[in-house]
Every structure is written in structure tokens, then in C-alpha cells.
């Protein structure tokens, strides 16, 4: 008999993690899911490595205090910058980074794979290294420094994105290297003709073994303003959920 004794923590700097949270609670309703959004310090993408590591260590301490030991870093910027540091500080936690989860399903190809991400993820070369480890060597990384702000402010990014994607039109595959980006998947599809990969499906495949025969519970917490996050979720995801402050 399957048992539901694990709670999965999801961590992101802002609203992007809710796209993973929504996908998982829809497809794996037996999971116990707790999303922590560090909106007080968001966005992370243009901050220093040290600042990103410090924010993440603080969040991991919160999860540990809640008794949550299995945590998905649903933030590409944190996965690219802070994984080694937080694993050293919290060796007892099972911390899974979104970048390796995303590339784990990919195998070697001579085609060009493009990665769009925040500036911090781009600078880290984390996707390039992870893809190289899987035999994929033709990798182009493109930072989209302003795109998260467009999405969080619910502004139309079409003009910005069309121009930004011009240098990677020869690529056959595009990895959305930020959890905000699937929120505007339709816009990416308008301006990129190849295959588009987002992180939600690989995370689902990894967490599927946590399934049980019981109903799961969900919690959404933010370091920012809970009322504002609740309204943002209503507007962007068309869901009304209780949001707690931390």
C-alpha cells in the first residue's frame, strides 16, 4: 500500500514557481506540496551570486524548520548559482535543482539547443555544462534580462521577445530556462518554430514516485505581501488560493 508521508517543498524567488506548483498539483494531486516564494527579494536574476546564495540559505532554513526535507529548487537562477553552497550548509536535505532535472531527459544531438534565461543563469553557464555532460555540445545561451519584469507586471512582451529571439532562430530546440517563461509559452511559440522545452514535465516525472493513494495538501507562502501574491495568482493563473506570509 502506498503511503503519503512525504512533503515536497518548492522554492522560487517569485511567481514563476507557481507554474510548477500548479502543474504538479493538477497532475499529482496526492502530493503534499508547499511553495515558498521569496517575493521580498525578487527578482533574483540580476543580483550578485552571494546575495542569491544568502536568500536561498534563509529559505532552506525555513523548510528545515517545517520538517520538509525534500525540496525542488524551482528557480533556474538559484539552481545555477547556489546548489553547491546550500548542499554544503544543509547536507541532510534532499535538494533537487531544476536545471539537472530539465536536462536529465535529453540525449546527445548535433542540432543546436538554445537556452533562454535570466542574466545570472546565463552567466553561470550551468545549462551549457549540464547539456555538455549529456553529450549535447551545440549550445547557445541567451539572457533575457527584462522578461521576468514584463511577466510579473503583466505587460505584453511580444515586441521585446520577437527582437530578443532573432539571434537563435537557427536552433532546433529552445529550453525555457526560467519558470516564469512557461506563463507566456504562446508568445514563445509565435516567435520560435522549433521544439520548446519547459521544466514542468521533467519535474513531474521525477516526483511521480512520491504519489500515494491519499489526497495531498497544499500550502503557498511568501516572504512578500500575501494579499498581493493572491491577486497575482488570480490574474496570472486564474486560481484563488490562500497565501500565507513568512
Question: Where are the alpha helices (H) located in 91-146, listed in sequence order?
Answer: 98-103, 119-124, 126-132
Q: Which of 131, 165, 178, 221 is catalytic?
A: 178
DSSP 219: E
Name the residue with cell 508568445: 187
**Residue 245 annotated as catalytic:** no
In the set 59, 75, 207, 229, the catalytic residue is 75
Please state, in angstroms and rounded to a whole number, the distance separating the CA atoms of residues 170 and 231.
39
Q: Decide: 78 and 58 in contact? Cβ < 8 Å.
A: no
Q: What are phi and psi of 5, to 5 degrees?
A: -110, 10
Rounded-to-integer distance, Cα 192 and Cα 162, Å: 9
14 DSSP assignment: S
Determine whether 104 is an active site residue: no
Instruction: Assess contact for 91 and 69: CB atoms under 8 A.
Output: no
Q: Give the other-Cβ count within 10 Å of 164's Cβ.
A: 18
Nearest alpha-carbon partner for 164 in 140, 139, 138, 182: 140
- Catalytic residue ranges: 75, 178
Amino acid at each position: 500500500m502506498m503511503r503519503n508521508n512525504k512533503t515536497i517543498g518548492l522554492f522560487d524567488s517569485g511567481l514563476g514557481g507557481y507554474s510548477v506548483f500548479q502543474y504538479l498539483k493538477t497532475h499529482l494531486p496526492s502530493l503534499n506540496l508547499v511553495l515558498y516564494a521569496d517575493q521580498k527579494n525578487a527578482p533574483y536574476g540580476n543580483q550578485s551570486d552571494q546575495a542569491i546564495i544568502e536568500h536561498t540559505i534563509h529559505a532552506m532554513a525555513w523548510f528545515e524548520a517545517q520538517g520538509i526535507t525534500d525540496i525542488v529548487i524551482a528557480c533556474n537562477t538559484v539552481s545555477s548559482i547556489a546548489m553547491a553552497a546550500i548542499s554544503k550548509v544543509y547536507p541532510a536535505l534532499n535538494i533537487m535543482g531544476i536545471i539537472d532535472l530539465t536536462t536529465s531527459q535529453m540525449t546527445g544531438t548535433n542540432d543546436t539547443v538554445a537556452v533562454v534565461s535570466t542574466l545570472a543563469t546565463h552567466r553561470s553557464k550551468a545549462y551549457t555544462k549540464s547539456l555538455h555532460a549529456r553529450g549535447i555540445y551545440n549550445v547557445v545561451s541567451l539572457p533575457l534580462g527584462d522578461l521576468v519584469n514584463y511577466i510579473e507586471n503583466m505587460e505584453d512582451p511580444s515586441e521585446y521577445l520577437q527582437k530578443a529571439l532573432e539571434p537563435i532562430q537557427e536552433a532546433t530546440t529552445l529550453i525555457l530556462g526560467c519558470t516564469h517563461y512557461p506563463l507566456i509559452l504562446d508568445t514563445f511559440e509565435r516567435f520560435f518554430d522549433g521544439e520548446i522545452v519547459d521544466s514542468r514535465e521533467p519535474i513531474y516525472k521525477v516526483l511521480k514516485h512520491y504519489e500515494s493513494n491519499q489526497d495531498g495538501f497544499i500550502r503557498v507562502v511568501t516572504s512578500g505581501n500575501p494579499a498581493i501574491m493572491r491577486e497575482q495568482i488570480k490574474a496570472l493563473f486564474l486560481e484563488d488560493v490562500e497565501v500565507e506570509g513568512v
